[in-house]
Chains A and B, each alone.
Chain A
Amino acid sequence: MHRPLDWKDIGQLCDIPVQGARRVEHPAGRIAVFRTIDDQVFALRDECPHKKGPLSEGIVHGHAVTCPLHNWVIDLATGEATGPDEGCTGHIPVRVEGERVLLGLAG
């Protein structure tokens, strides 16, 4: 059964560096919240589908992040590995309201 999303305020947009990321702790695992050059915000589980590298530490380019451990490139919108690599990490809905950033977590 689908429960409605619970929108949690995690902070201000300006707390996240452009072309960078911040971490959010969640009981089900760490979440990486990214801000791209065009000021869009995305959230993924902070675990690379390859060997669980912390995606929050990767280089953000376009709408993708490169894992710091072995350079897999992960699509920020879907959490899927791009190019020849295969794998997917969970993605979390994000809403930006004014300056606030909210994550849509399962209620």
Chain B
Amino acid sequence: MTTNHSSPPDGTHKPRLVVIGNGMAGIRAVEELLDRAPGLYQISVFGAEPRVNYNRIMLSPLLSGEKTFDQIVINDRDWYTANGITLHAGDAVETIDRQRQVVITKSGLECPYDRLLIATGSMPIVIPIPGARLPGVVTFRDVDDVDAMLIASAKGGHAVVIGGGLLGLEAAVGLKARGMDVTVLHLAGHLMERQLDASAGHLLAKELERRGLTVLTGADTAAILGDSHVTGVALKDGTELPADLVVMAVGIRPDTRLAAAAGLEVGRGIMVDDHMVTSDPAIMAVGECVQHRGSCYGLVQPLFDMAKVLADHLAGRKGAGYAGSVTSTKLKVTGVDVFSAGDFSGGPGTEDIVFRDAGRGIYKRIVLEEGRVKGAVLYGDTGDGGWYFQLLKAGEDVSPLRDTLIFGQGFAPSEGGAANPTAAVAALPDTAEICGCNGVCKGTIVKAINEKGLTTLDAVKACTKASASCGSCTGLVEGLLTHTLGGDYQAAGVKPMCKCTDHDHDSVRRLIRVQGLKSIPDVMQALEWKTPDGCHSCRPALNYYLLASWPGEYVDHAASRFVNERVHANIQKDGTYSVVPRMWGGLTNANELRAIADVVEKFDIPTVKVTGGQRIDLLGIKKDDLPAVWADLNAAGMVSGHAYGKSLRTVKTCVGSDWCRFGTQKSLEVGVNLERMTWGSWTPHKFKMAVSGCPRNCAEATIKDFGVIATDGGFDLLVGGNGGIKLRGTDLLVKVTTEEEVQEYCAAFMQLYREEAHYLERTAPWIERVGLDFVKARVVDDAENRRALHDRFLASQRHAQVDPWAERAPGTAAAARDFRTLATVE
């Protein structure tokens, strides 16, 4: 094709530059061109929107009411006139005729060009679900969309925003500010998953919920409901939400329609080279509509870089060209500081530095690879975002800064200086608040250390109250001790739960209750966990502590449970499972035995064994068969025996006075009733009981967590026994006379153990650690406390006594997802 694009401007006939798209990138390119070579071209701009060029980024504050349209205009009419630019606002270009070098608009206008710039931006993606085109469904891209939202919000009601990314959240917050009830539906597991990691996404969701928005993650929209106007939204899981307005903000797609129709080379975006030139040398493209070296961008900073390169090219300057951009993101919601840059997905060879300051609601994560910053996520304090972004783009080795990097630029070592965390504390001013709970500042602590000769954390706590409440500033106080005393300070020997935290089990348990922490991510943030999502040792512990602290309220987290508790069966060495139905007190009957026999035959179960816990173990069952096996056992009235759980296992009994010639009490009945009361309860470690009908003790009650030995006068209650590797006989807790007392003491003792012991601590080592007197003081001597413990136990049992087998019956979604093979491939 021949063009006159290379003919030099001769002054008499200026070359004509036509710009399609009156948006951010197109007009920025024009501005850059005017800077370099004013008057070089005769410029015409076509915009589909009937208005001047404005700052699209500011649509969010326009929606929330923080800005007016006039305040977000970038160039008014006078600017176009002053620069001799003809603006055709509201007249979209419909065709590019490359043969004749003209563009043809919707109104029929033909405009010839020597150079053409395509800057059509992108289109919001509309997911193809039923109802997607109903009135009341809008996207969030231009002023018209904002107007539509404002009209809808004036009537109040419910808004549902589909998409919890940058745009969706800004729309949601804006609509909330306009008085609507807002629900955000997000498909991924956490908000803004492309910009934030799970921890930051979780904090963000909490903050939005605090502001009155509802956030549903993992929510897959099935349809938009309504006949003549939207009335609601249906999710794939069957949930239906009312809606008067639906905002679809699920992503954008480069608008390549004109370019493709004109036969230009198009991929995801319009293909351009490093000088923003398309496959036709007379036609350039810039902005979100382009694809450069395989990338499309959706933020202004790269578009502005492109605009400069393009202006160089149009002005006839030889520049280096565009080499692509590394981008960073900030969410524009007043009072919510979120920043992310680069690649923070982690992976092999990368290293995470995580910092959490619960008091101030801060989370920071820097990802390093080979000593270089590879990505950063900041929540709550984004002041150093720019600095990290600089380090990232520079790609320099930051190893010398490693130790203080996470504290920010303020703590970076000066030239030749050494970096260490103590120095970071040292650098804080005396007025810096160290302990947020008690309002103790650095000066007070240092003074106390010096003047009162304090040398330990406990002494500082006692003297100043610093770190005496929530304890989250312990690290800082220890830093101050080290800084003030130098080598004389030895950190006290608390044994952290695991390498993910500095807290020990006791302080985690206490803080969960005191601070009202109700989910694993909450605990990890509030207690400043050092890993993104914990490990196999802290997660099950936290799950238990939360379950025990907030019965009925806390939702069990299956992914934080050991496999046996997740699938309600015991994994065997070959990956098959064993199933143990409950036999109350070891008592069974023909009906149960027949059902077991049928199951054994039907599923070809290789081994059937009587356990030491007085029940029957079915071994070697394939995972896929588990739900069906349970269903058959359920049908015969049997429930899970929890032989797999850190929970009540069995209550062994002997036949007692019902049959035995030595029997003094109805041990069978007492045992069955104990099991009926306690089954289903979760405990720090497994919990076993036994009831013997006389001191001959055939049920071996003296090696159980809670044992009962009947006597002529009543019952001896025994605690803290253990068979196993380290044999321990029980201690006598108390002698009682009635079965009601047996029940009350049993529940109270179990509850004390549930509330006090460390996860994975059996009653035997627990009692050795805290002392039998500790237990007696609470369960025996203090009757009121005993009843309170007993009542708390029963209250929690109301939520715990659900047969997990019945919940996962075959055919339920849970059964399919948790047990079935995902796929078979050749």
Contact = CB atoms under 8 A, between A and B. Distances in A.
A50 B494 CA distance: 33
B519 interface: no
B822 A59 contact: no
Contact of A26 (B534, B535, B825): B825
Contact of B189 (A8, A18, A52): A18
A62 B531 contact: yes
B560 A59 contact: yes
A62 B822 contact: no
Given A63-B347, A71-B536, A77-B348, A24 B571 contact: no
B823 A10 contact: yes
A11 B817 contact: no
Contacts of B348: 63, 75, 77-78
Which interface residue of B187, B539, B559 has the most chain A CB atoms within 10 A? Answer: B559
A54 B535 CA distance: 18
A78 B347 CA distance: 10
A60 interface: yes
Contacts of A38: 193, 197-198, 345-346, 532
Given A14-B218, A18-B559, A23-B822, A61 B573 contact: no
Contacts of B361: none
Contact of A61 (B218, B534, B571): B534
A22 B187 CA distance: 19
- B interface SS class: loop
Interface string B156-172: 00000000000000000
A15 to B, nearest CB: 6
Contacts of B345: 38, 40
Contacts of A18: 189, 218, 559
A90 interface: no
A66 B535 contact: yes
Contacts of A14: 187, 218, 220
Which interface residue of A61, A63, A66 has the most chain B CB atoms within 10 A? Answer: A61
A65 B37 CA distance: 60
Contact of B347 (A20, A24, A77): A77
Interface in A1-30: 8, 10-11, 14-20, 22-27
Which interface residue of A59, A75, A77 has the most chain B CB atoms within 10 A? Answer: A59
Nearest to B198: A37
B826 interface: yes
A37 B189 contact: yes
B563 to A, nearest CB: 4
Interface in B213-232: 218, 220
A80 to B, nearest CB: 9
A15 B822 contact: yes
Nearest to B572: A69
B533 interface: yes
Contact of B821 (A23, A52, A66, A69): A23
Contacts of A59: 535-536, 539-540, 559-563
Contacts of A93: none
Contacts of A52: 575
B558 interface: yes
B193 A39 contact: yes
A39 B345 CA distance: 9
A14 B345 CA distance: 19
A68 B218 contact: no
Given A8-B825, A27-B826, A38-B198, A57 B571 contact: yes
A63 to B, nearest CB: 6
Contacts of B822: 10-11, 15-16, 22-24, 33
A60 B347 CA distance: 14
Given A22-B821, A24-B822, A103-B825, A17 B559 contact: yes
A18 B345 CA distance: 15
B57 interface: no
A93 to B, nearest CB: 13
Contact of A15 (B573, B817, B826): B817
A49 interface: no
Nearest to B538: A61
The range of chain A's interface size is 35 or more
Contacts of B347: 40, 63, 77
Nearest to B202: A37
Contacts of A63: 346-348
Which interface residue of B558, B561, B826 has the most chain A CB atoms within 10 A? Answer: B826
B346 A69 contact: no
A73 interface: yes
Contacts of B532: 37-38, 62
B346 A62 contact: yes
A50 B313 CA distance: 62
B329 to A, nearest CB: 16
A17 B535 contact: no
A58 B559 contact: no
B4 interface: no
B333 interface: no
B12 interface: no
Nearest to A55: B575
Contact of B533 (A17, A62, A69, A75): A62
Interface in B523-568: 531-536, 539-540, 558-564, 566-567
Contacts of B818: 17
Contacts of B218: 14, 18
Contacts of A8: 823, 825-826
A66 B536 contact: yes
B188 interface: yes
B565 to A, nearest CB: 11
B269 to A, nearest CB: 18
Nearest to A103: B825
B81 interface: no
Contacts of A62: 346, 531-533, 535
B824 interface: yes
B193 A37 contact: no
Nearest to A67: B536
Given A11-B822, A37-B533, A59-B536, A69 B559 contact: no
Given A18-B559, A38-B345, A78-B348, A61 B825 contact: no
Nearest to B576: A54
B540 to A, nearest CB: 7
A33 B824 CA distance: 12
Nearest to A20: B559
A54 B347 CA distance: 22
Contacts of A10: 822-823, 825
B220 A25 contact: no
Contacts of B198: 37-38
12 contacts: A8-B825, A14-B220, A16-B822, A17-B818, A38-B193, A39-B189, A57-B567, A59-B536, A59-B563, A63-B346, A64-B535, A71-B536
Given A10-B825, A18-B559, A23-B822, 16 more contacts: A11-B822, A15-B817, A22-B821, A25-B823, A39-B189, A40-B345, A53-B573, A57-B575, A59-B540, A59-B559, A59-B562, A61-B536, A62-B531, A69-B573, A71-B536, A77-B347
Interface of B: 187-189, 193, 197-198, 218, 220, 345-348, 531-536, 539-540, 558-564, 566-567, 571, 573, 575, 817-818, 821-826
